[in-house]
A = this chain, B = another copy of it.
Amino acid sequence: MTTKGDAIKVSILKALQDAEEPIGASRIAEKLYSMGLSVRPRTVRFYLLQLDNEGLTHRVSRRRGRTLTEKGKEELAHANVLDKIGFIAAKVDTLGYRMNFNLRKGEGTIIANVGVINKRDLGRAFLAMGPVFEAKLAMSDRMFLAEGGEKIGSLVIRQNMVCIATVCSVTLNGILLSERIPVVSRFGGLLEIRNGQPARFVELIEYGGTTVDPLEAFIRAGMTRTTECALSGNGIVGASFREVPSAALDAVMRIHKMMTQRGLGGMLAIGKPNRPLMDIPVADGRAGIVVIGGLNAMAAIHEAGIDVELRSLACLADYSLFRPLPEVVAMAHNRRIFRR
């Protein structure tokens, strides 16, 4: 069966394409894992050797690793269409890699989710979001607003609409990555909260096997109870399950603290090396973490019966644009975007 090896080769090419600089087998193996393909670095080297011979990859230097050759890029262009359908996992990885936030300084770009609503609903939307932020059910208690006519990412906002942006939970992947901690996103799901504590996942969708953001689907399907959770401490909210290398756990804890100081939260639970977390087992040498959904504030808006057009993983945005809710409310008022 030549098929299996070929699949690995194609994936290696893909991993190399995503990287802008030469990378080695270990890094490639990591990328493959986050694409749902478990292979050891040695195996990657084994196939890289063949790819070199076929002229699809090129060994830049013994230390720096490989790059794609022109021929390799071409080859990839012909490859499997399904791979291009754009499973969410790939998008998550790419954005996490492209963002650029300096945790120590608290500045730089982060990843944003956006929701577009009608201007007239803005007041009610603010009311819905408040409790979610207060209950720390979002990545951050900051957000920002864009008005009709403005442009955010590639999205142009229509007249009479406003766009609300919140911090996406994938931002966490980017922050950890900048500390050289690779994060693998495994599931998006619905997390049951009891007495303010995460209890268990009630539904799961694997990131590797979906083209839609699971949390977005759950929210649109009306399966969340975010507001209820924010007010009473019991409910169902969006959350995701990710894995980090066990060796990096200390660093993760440390970063968690720093993030909290910067107004960024989001890690609901951190597991122990090789131990299941919330009944979900992890790969060898890894530990699980449960991350709150960045869309939860939008979920509350949706639950309030307001028509909201969701777009998760929307774009990169500068963190300085994001302000605490009261400030945003005041600003909206001054600019007469809405009246109380």
The prevalent SS among residues of A at the interface is mixed
Give the nearest-CB partner of A219 in chain B: B221
Q: Give 23 CB contacts A-B under 8 Å.
A: A1-B284, A3-B284, A81-B276, A81-B279, A82-B276, A82-B279, A82-B280, A82-B281, A85-B201, A85-B279, A203-B211, A203-B212, A204-B209, A205-B205, A205-B209, A205-B212, A206-B209, A209-B209, A209-B210, A216-B221, A217-B217, A220-B221, A220-B223
Give the nearest-CB partner of A274 in chain B: B3
A222 within 8 A of partner (CB): yes
A61 within 8 A of partner (CB): no
- Binary interface encoding of chain A residues 252-288 relative to chain B, with 1 for a CB under 8 A from any of its CBs, else 0: 0000000000000000000000001001110010000
A85, A201, A218, A280: most-surrounded residue (chain B CB, <10 A): A85
List the B side residues contacting A203 at CB < 8 Å.
211-212
Interface size class of A (residues with CB under 8 A): 20 to 34
Q: How many copies does the complex hold?
A: 2
B-contacting residues of A (Cβ < 8 Å)? 1, 3, 80-82, 85, 189, 201, 203-206, 208-212, 216-218, 220-223, 276, 279-281, 284
A85 touches B204 (CB 8 A): yes
In the complex, A206→B206 CA distance in Å? 8
In the complex, A80→B280 CA distance in Å? 8
